[in-house]
Chains A and B, each alone.
Chain A
Amino acid sequence: MTDLIETRLPGVGTVHVFDCDNGTRVGVIAHHSGRRELVIYDRDDLDCVSDSAMLTPGEARMLADLLGGTTVTEKLDDLRQNIAGLAIDWLPIPAHSAFAGRTIGETELRHRTGVSIVAIVRDDRPIPAPGPNDELRSGDTAVLVGTAEGIDLATALLTRHSL
């Protein structure tokens, strides 16, 4: 691990500096204002900043994600591609619902709307991947996945009073 040197800048903030393996000196200034400044030092004069970029808190977070969280970012991208065109919704099952107390199979939800119930949240505990014999109860939250139109249909179906 490279040495990280922290220096206080009275009235400005704090600067952290380290030397990369390739000889470049890099620093980050944390300004009292909340801004972060990324600085690169001059190779011929390692005391002197040769270039700097002032970052807003949002830009700093983005940069940190790009640098530190590469694998996370890749996975997020994957996920986004997979769910393009899909909608996810959390639907509380009301007490008056005709399907409260009936099984998922009895709703014929997938057949009628193309929507799947991928999980049920009951008393703050999730029941992942419920089967057709699993029961929906009033007070459950059903996690629905489908097209936006499908979800609208499913919502109407699962909250109506009669079968």
Chain B
Amino acid sequence: MITAATPGVATLLIELGGILVALAALGRVAARFGIPSIPLYLVAGLAVGEGGVVELLTARAFIENGAQIGVILLLLLLGLEYTGEELTTALREQAPAGAVDLVLNATPGIALGLVLGWDYRAALLLGGVTYISSSGIIAKLLADLRRTGNRETPVVLAILVTEDLVMAFYLPLMAGLLIGGDALDIGVEVGLAVAAVLLTLIVAIRYGPRLSRVVFDRSDENLLLSLLGLALLVAGIAERLQASAAVGAFLVGIALSGPTERAARTVLAPLRDLFAALFFAFFGLQIDPVQLPAALPLAVGLAVVSAATKLATGWWSAKRAGIERPGRIRAGATLVARGEFSIVIAGIAVAEGIEAELGPLAAAYVLLLAVTGPLLARSADPIGRRFGRTRRKVAA
């Protein structure tokens, strides 16, 4: 029976429609200026959250649930980008670069957290925020700047792959640490979570093709329902086992391969765009914009230092791969952008209410680097030509 819409439903639809229209408008602005849309979605969230311009009344609960699905879809699609074989190959060939990346870039965040006298878990989360580059922004940059074929690009991509793998262990580790308890409890919790991820990863790589055949269906509709259902189920089970829903979804993405993988990317990408936008907005929504100015100086400092460490990471890794100076600068500058996964990690801290300062700091930090990272990557070519001139001269 169709009843007259209750006022609650009307408000929900108007608020939801309003925020989607606002996000769409901001997305256009972002495209116009050639910057990623993530920071603008954050700003939109700030505007409609606590202490914002208008405060959402009924849509908040929906956006919160949507945000959780957004994280799952972000990680599922990330997993779909890579096959198990690509993961293991990248890890084998670029393990040293991955290690340098981890040490150089997690350190600024952890150090700042400790200096501020935070709980060690909050410091570790801030380390995660500064460590992980934005695969989404960087993939788009490489395509836009036509650098896919560049010889430093395999190095950049391999570093991103190692980061994603590290995150598959980092997220359950943090989940274990955040449950708390004595050292033994934490040790067991973390050990179990890491073992579960490792086991799932091996199973995913080995039995992925079989799973892919079972899931595959010629109908987009059936495929969409099977994939989304499977990802949500695995994510939910992982969350129940304290091993992080996002990682469950990531592993499902890794397991899928072949025609299923390609079809999955096509049917899921629009859904990911919708829910990920809600996720970024929701993160902004939880933060009181009044706190941002106070967090800004620290965020700028952290951004400068961790941009420098990413530049160093790219330089070192590209040099190791035999790339000349301009290419080393490009590799480093490309890696500077932070985005969706920094927010995923900061979102854990906000959800846990572990350190009130972390949310605004991370928001300001991501705003800064999601905008300046791509600008830096763009300007790497002129910078490289000026300062990185190779000694090789063109014969007259």
Chain A to chain B contacts (Cβ below 8 Å), 13 pairs: A9-B148, A10-B157, A11-B139, A15-B154, A17-B149, A27-B149, A32-B262, A45-B324, A45-B326, A47-B150, A47-B151, A47-B152, A52-B148
Our count of residue pairs bridging A and B at CB distance below 8 angstroms stands at 79
Q: Assess the B82–A49 pair: CB atoms within 8 A.
A: no
In Å, the complex CA distance between A48 and B392 comes to: 14
Closest to B159 in A: A10
Closest to B85 in A: A8
**Interface SS of chain B:** helix
The verdict on A91 contacting chain B, using a C-beta distance below 8 Å, is: no
Query: Which positions 197-219 of chain B face chain A at CB distance < 8 Å?
Result: none
Q: Assess the A10–B82 pair: CB atoms within 8 A.
A: yes
- Of all A-B residue pairs in the complex, the 9 with the closest CB atoms, nearest first, are A47-B327, A39-B149, A11-B81, A47-B151, A10-B86, A49-B149, A10-B157, A10-B161, A7-B154
A79-96 near B? 1/0 per residue, CB < 8 Å: 000000000000000000
Q: Assess the B149–A37 pair: CB atoms within 8 A.
A: yes
Q: Assess the A10–B158 pair: CB atoms within 8 A.
A: yes
Which bucket holds chain B's interface residue count?
20 to 34
In Å, the complex CA distance between A15 and B146 comes to: 14
Chain B residues with CB under 8 Å of A44's CB are 390, 392, 394
Q: Assess the B326–A48 pair: CB atoms within 8 A.
A: yes
**CB contact under 8 A between A45 and B384, given known A11-B82, A11-B86:** yes
Closest to A50 in B: B146
The verdict on B330 contacting chain A, using a C-beta distance below 8 Å, is: yes
The verdict on A12 contacting chain B, using a C-beta distance below 8 Å, is: yes
Closest to A42 in B: B326
In Å, the complex CA distance between A12 and B390 comes to: 29
**CB contact under 8 A between A29 and B149, given known A8-B89, A11-B82:** yes
- A: number of interface residues (CB 8 Å): 23
The verdict on B302 contacting chain A, using a C-beta distance below 8 Å, is: no
Chain A residues with CB under 8 Å of B160's CB are 10-11
In Å, the complex CA distance between A47 and B151 comes to: 5
The verdict on A43 contacting chain B, using a C-beta distance below 8 Å, is: yes
In Å, the complex CA distance between A32 and B150 comes to: 17
Q: Assess the A49–B154 pair: CB atoms within 8 A.
A: no
Chain A residues with CB under 8 Å of B158's CB are 10
Q: Assess the A37–B148 pair: CB atoms within 8 A.
A: yes
Q: Assess the B146–A49 pair: CB atoms within 8 A.
A: yes
In Å, the complex CA distance between A33 and B143 comes to: 14
Query: Which positions 73-121 of chain B face chain A at CB distance < 8 Å?
Result: 81-82, 86-87, 89-90
Q: Assess the A15–B149 pair: CB atoms within 8 A.
A: yes
The verdict on A46 contacting chain B, using a C-beta distance below 8 Å, is: yes
Q: Assess the B384–A52 pair: CB atoms within 8 A.
A: no
Q: Assess the A9–B157 pair: CB atoms within 8 A.
A: yes
Q: Assess the B157–A11 pair: CB atoms within 8 A.
A: yes
Chain A residues with CB under 8 Å of B153's CB are 9
Closest to B139 in A: A11
Chain A residues with CB under 8 Å of B86's CB are 8, 10-11
In Å, the complex CA distance between A8 and B92 comes to: 13
**CB contact under 8 A between A47 and B326, given known A8-B89, A15-B149:** yes
Closest to A25 in B: B151
The verdict on B274 contacting chain A, using a C-beta distance below 8 Å, is: no
The verdict on B267 contacting chain A, using a C-beta distance below 8 Å, is: no
In Å, the complex CA distance between A46 and B151 comes to: 8
Chain A residues with CB under 8 Å of B323's CB are 47
Chain B residues with CB under 8 Å of A8's CB are 86, 89-90, 154
Q: Which of A17, A33, A37, A45 has the most CB of B within 10 A?
A: A45
Q: Which of A9, A27, A48, A49 has the most CB of B within 10 A?
A: A48
Additional A-B contact list (11), CB under 8 Å, known A45-B326, A48-B147: A9-B154, A10-B154, A10-B157, A11-B160, A15-B148, A37-B149, A44-B390, A44-B394, A45-B390, A47-B323, A49-B148
B274-298 near A? 1/0 per residue, CB < 8 Å: 0000000000000000000000000
Q: Which of B139, B148, B324 has the most CB of A within 10 A?
A: B148
Chain A residues with CB under 8 Å of B394's CB are 43-44
In Å, the complex CA distance between A10 and B330 comes to: 18
A11-49 near B? 1/0 per residue, CB < 8 Å: 110010100000000010100110001010101111111
Closest to B326 in A: A45
Closest to B146 in A: A52
Chain A residues with CB under 8 Å of B150's CB are 47-49
Chain B residues with CB under 8 Å of A43's CB are 394
Chain B residues with CB under 8 Å of A33's CB are 262
**CB contact under 8 A between A29 and B81, given known A8-B86, A9-B154, A48-B330:** no
How many whole Å from B337's CB to the nearest CB in chain A?
16
Closest to B395 in A: A23
How many whole Å from B331's CB to the nearest CB in chain A?
9
In Å, the complex CA distance between A158 and B394 comes to: 73
Query: Which positions 320-368 of chain B face chain A at CB distance < 8 Å?
Result: 323-324, 326-327, 330
Chain B residues with CB under 8 Å of A15's CB are 148-149, 154
How many whole Å from A35's CB to the nearest CB in chain B?
11
Chain A residues with CB under 8 Å of B392's CB are 44
Closest to A33 in B: B262
